[in-house]
């Protein structure tokens, strides 16, 4: 199947899931290109895809350079090491999904050069699956951490939360982690517009639980 057929089929599935949640619900696709070369990204671009996600700063640098001639929107979704913050900020990503602590938020905030008028949009990562292997704040602490970031990091545009569904074959367990994330999301102030939830194996369930941004890798780049 061509890249465009694959994308079209995924969009049809998104459409069905979206309607099960709400007829007016809009879902954004971020194509996670972390295992793919720039040529694959160009192909998806030619099918209409504009937003791409990378999980390593080094890869983002390379792909932004190679694809500089396209109007792409870059998302950062990986663990962010402190020594990479300046580099990431210089790349001006559209959204940083993986701010997983107040401490990291403060580190990013203080490195922002206020003379350059770029304030990054960021999401607080929540460990809604309560898995030790996953990073992110505990759901019970999410409300408070969100409020603390908002009040102590004036250079960040805090825009919602990101979470990764439970690693399980049991749909009920995955659903529970998504509903947990949705519950946190609903408790947040008005500034929380983005609920980044759902990947290749669980995006329909995530949308049915209210996700409005899905991060799709393997399913789009087969
Ligand atoms: C790799 C990755 C994805 C995409 O995963 P697929 O299962 O390939 O869709 C989404 N989100 C994050 C945070 C990732 O690291």
pLDDT in tens, the chain (222 residues): 788 999 999 999 999 999 999 999 999 999 999 999 999 999 999 999 999 999 999 999 999 999 999 999 999 999 999 999 999 999 999 999 999 999 999 999 999 988 888 999 999 999 999 999 999 999 999 999 999 999 999 999 999 999 999 999 999 999 999 999 999 999 999 999 999 999 999 999 999 999 999 999 999 998
Query: Considering the entire predicted model, what is its pTM?
Result: 0.97
Residue from 77, 98, 131, 197 whose mutation best tests the ligand 1 pocket (most atoms within 8 A of CB):
77
180's tokens: 């947990």
Q: Where are the beta strands (DSSP E) in 146-193?
A: 157-163
Q: In testing the pocket of ligand 1, which one of 30, 55, 98, 131 has its CB within 8 Å of the most ligand atoms?
A: 55
Asked if 136 and 100 count as a contact pair (C-beta separation under 8 A), the reply is yes
SS3 call for 213: strand
- Beta carbon of 216 within 6 Å of any ligand 1 atom: yes
Q: What is the pLDDT of residue 2?
A: 87
State how far the alpha carbon of 195 is from the alpha carbons of 2, 39, 60, in Å: 30, 29, 23
User: How high is the pLDDT of residue 115?
Assistant: 86
Alpha carbon of 116 to ligand 1 centroid (Å): 31
| Residue 130 confidence (pLDDT) | 95
**Which pLDDT score, from 0 to 100, does residue 1 have?**
73
Cα-to-centroid distance, 57 and ligand 1 (Å): 15
Residue 138, SS3 per DSSP: coil
Is 56 a pocket residue for ligand 1 (Cβ < 6 Å)? no
């Amino acid at each position: 199947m061509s890249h465009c057929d694959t994308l079209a089929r995924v969009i049809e599935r998104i459409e069905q899931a979206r309607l099960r949640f709400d007829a007016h619900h809009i879902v954004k696709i971020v194509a996670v290109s972390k295992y793919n070369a720039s040529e694959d990204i160009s192909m998806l671009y030619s099918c209409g895809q504009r937003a791409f996600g990378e999980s390593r700063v080094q890869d983002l640098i390379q792909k932004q350079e190679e694809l500089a001639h396209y109007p792409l929107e870059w998302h950062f979704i990986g663990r962010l090491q402190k020594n990479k913050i300046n580099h990431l900020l210089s790349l001006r990503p559209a959204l940083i999904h993986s701010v997983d602590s107040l401490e990291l938020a403060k580190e990013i905030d203080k490195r922002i050069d206020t003379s350059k008028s770029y304030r990054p949009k960021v999401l607080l990562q929540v460990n809604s699956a309560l898995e030790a292997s996953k990073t992110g704040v505990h759901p019970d602490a999410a409300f408070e951490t969100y409020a603390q970031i908002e009040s102590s990091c004036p250079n960040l545009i805090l825009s919602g939360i990101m979470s990764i569904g439970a690693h399980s074959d049991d749909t009920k367990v995955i659903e529970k982690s998504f509903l947990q994330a949705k519950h946190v999301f609903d408790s947040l102030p008005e500034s929380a517009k983005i609920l980044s939830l759902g990947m290749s194996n669980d995006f329909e369930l995530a949308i049915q639980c209210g996700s409005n941004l899905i991060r799709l890798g393997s399913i789009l780049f087969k």
